Structure 1
Amino acid sequence: MSDDPVPLASLSLTHVHYDPSDPISYLCAWLALIPQGLCVVYATLIWSTREIEIALLFAGQLACEALNFALKRLIKEERPRRMNGKGYGMPSSHAQFVAYFAVSITLFLLLRHQPPSPRVRKRNHTPMSMLERAGWSALGLGMAAAVAWSRVYLNYHTEKQVLVGAAAGVVSAVGWFIITTIVRRSGWLAWALDTPIAKFFRVRDLVVEEDLCQAGWEKWDDKMTVQKAKQKHK
């Protein structure tokens, strides 16, 4: 038997090439990990909140990734000559991923999210104003632009590959928003939420009208109010 060690393979899920002497390149390497981080955020929020809107957003994200997979194998355009990545480069999957996410969040916050009017708000909850929602949307879009730019800077993609990826992400986000709007208005979503399996997993649809932290915060604030009242009467 040979004593030569078996060559090891690299799991390149989070393997990012960058120039260690360039601080900007180092920053771009971290930006390249944002899609993986967002997948963790998706899984965490779906499990902890059981919000159907988040699950639908993630379903659209998966469909967007499937589209990218198909487009790359249909177009078959190579990456830049000084290639820092494997596989085809058109369109950029990172740019498409973050563009879908940012545009979807923007559409949700500005068009679908309908918090209660300040006149009827509860004492322990102040809904986000339109200005705040616009600010979060701008932050998300800026993040997407930074991630897309980092792919060119790290030499994983050409500018054209990034622009096409971003365009595909925007189209996917708008298209999925229209589809989910039709599903909501047709009553199919309400029907699905009333099924035994949805009730078993405690799936809900509250984030359209309230913030994710509202329900838990109300319970906590009510509990603290009761405790303070008991202390005053001692």
Structure 2
Amino acid sequence: MADNVSPLASFSLTHVYYDPSDPISYLCAFLALVPQALCVVYATLIWSTREAEVALMFAGQLACEAANFALKRLIKEERPKRIHGKGYGMPSSHAQFAFFWAVAVALFLVVRHRPRPRQGAARSGGAAANETPVGGGGGAGGSGSRSMNKGGIAGSGPATSAPGSTAAFRGGALGPLTAWDVERYAHQPWSLLERVAASAVALVLAAMVAWSRVYLNYHTPKQVLAGCLAGAVSAVAWFAATYVMRQTGLLALALDMPVARWFRLRDLVTEEDLCQAGWEKWEDRKLRALQAKSK
């Protein structure tokens, strides 16, 4: 009966060989799964946001993978001798995938993304100058409590946030933060410095993915460096292509097509912080609820 049993195979897309006695090798095994995780992130963001920018980035990512497929079969360079992977090794597909993603994210955050000024600034009026530090004690008579009205910042008219929005800072553990500081941050998109920092994190993660391929003996350093370069060049080229699409109106034309409208595709994220927009809608909803209760 044993002769009738079909041999089993592993799913190579998520199969990684590593040294179980080496903690670094164990970490590298997880880093090898970053591209698969990013595909899940792409699909989730496309479905949840319907943003053209995300869909275009994923399309570029797939085009980059197709280019890697072609390059490997054109160059035909073998992997290292102590190797468990199949196929050619030049350039590294993991390195190319990770660096396309990281450079594309960096170009979007630093170059393309131009978030509008925070919308909540006008509502706070001149309260900043009179705000008492959160957790700073109110002194006799409770001056700290006078700085906050029922729903937000004193002097701002109607409440600008729910009563619990600054309660977490009242212990004073974070220093002399004021309610105005909390509200100001809650009503503003990422600054350029924050976007640069996020881009740096993406690039570091991509570098770690690339390094893991050498550590696990799936690629030579030359193959990994070639993958990094190919991914970065592909990201810049795709960024330029999508810029031309926007400038010539091709993207706007595509978004007006029936299929795009049926899927409710839009192109807002270049000027709008999606988290910020959703947050301010939530704040406005709470404000209306508080105003309705006060009537």
Band of TM-score, shorter chain: over 0.9
Matches within 5 A, 1:93-112: 93-112=93-112
Cα separation, 1, equivalents of 2:2 and 2:17: 33
Amino acid at match of 2:240: I
Shift of 1:211: 1.6
Q: Which has the larger radius of gyration?
A: 2
> What residue in structure 2 maps to residue 136 of structure 1?
198
- Could you say if the C-alpha distance between residues 4 and 195 of structure 1 is closer, same or farther in structure 2, counting changes exceeding 3 Å? closer
- Could you say if the C-alpha distance between residues 138 and 218 of structure 1 is closer, same or farther in structure 2, counting changes exceeding 3 Å? same
Greater percentage in helix: 1
> What residue in structure 2 maps to residue 27 of structure 1?
27
Shift of 1:218: 2.6
> What residue in structure 2 maps to residue 18 of structure 1?
18
Would the aligned equivalents of 2:120 and 2:187 in 1 still touch at CA under 8 Å? no
Amino acid at match of 2:66: A
User: Which residue among 193, 209, 212 is the counterpart of 2:274?
Assistant: 212
Deviations 1:153-187 (A, max 9, x none): 00000000000000000110000011110110011
> What residue in structure 2 maps to residue 158 of structure 1?
220
Alpha-carbon RMSD: 1.7
Deviations 1:86-107 (A, max 9, x none): 1111100000000000000111
Task: State the secondary structure of the residue aligned to 2:21.
Answer: coil
Task: State the secondary structure of the residue aligned to 1:14.
Answer: coil
Cα separation, 1, equivalents of 2:64 and 2:57: 11
Matches within 5 A, 1:36-185: 36-117=36-117, 125-185=187-247
- Is 1:187 equivalent to 2:249 in the alignment? yes
Q: Which moved more, 1:1-10 or 1:55-64?
A: 1-10
Task: State the secondary structure of the residue aligned to 2:82.
Answer: coil
Shift of 1:219: 2.5
Shift of 1:53: 0.3
Identity of aligned residues (%): 67
Task: State the secondary structure of the residue aligned to 1:89.
Answer: coil
Equivalenced residue count is 233
Cα separation, 2, equivalents of 1:178 and 1:47: 25
Shift of 1:118: 5.1
Would the aligned equivalents of 2:117 and 2:188 in 1 still touch at CA under 8 Å? no
Cα separation, 2, equivalents of 1:23 and 1:147: 16
- Could you say if the C-alpha distance between residues 122 and 209 of structure 1 is closer, same or farther in structure 2, counting changes exceeding 3 Å? farther
Cα separation, 1, equivalents of 2:71 and 2:213: 18
Task: State the secondary structure of the residue aligned to 1:20.
Answer: coil
- Could you say if the C-alpha distance between residues 205 and 160 of structure 1 is closer, same or farther in structure 2, counting changes exceeding 3 Å? same
Task: State the secondary structure of the residue aligned to 2:274.
Answer: coil
Cα separation, 2, equivalents of 1:132 and 1:73: 40
> What residue in structure 1 maps to residue 265 of structure 2?
203
Shift of 1:111: 0.7
TM-score scaled by length of structure 2: 0.75
TM-score scaled by length of structure 1: 0.94
Q: Which 5+ residue runs of structure 1 have no aligned equivalent?
A: none
Would the aligned equivalents of 2:57 and 2:104 in 1 still touch at CA under 8 Å? yes
Task: State the secondary structure of the residue aligned to 1:203.
Answer: coil
Shift of 1:129: 0.6
Q: Which moved more, 1:124-133 or 1:33-42?
A: 124-133
Would the aligned equivalents of 1:109 and 1:133 in 2 still touch at CA under 8 Å? yes
> What residue in structure 1 maps to residue 6 of structure 2?
6
Cα separation, 2, equivalents of 1:40 and 1:46: 10
Cα separation, 1, equivalents of 2:292 and 2:120: 28
Q: Which moved more, 1:114-123 or 1:224-233?
A: 114-123
Q: Which 5+ residue runs of structure 2 have no aligned equivalent?
A: 124-185
- Could you say if the C-alpha distance between residues 130 and 39 of structure 1 is closer, same or farther in structure 2, counting changes exceeding 3 Å? same
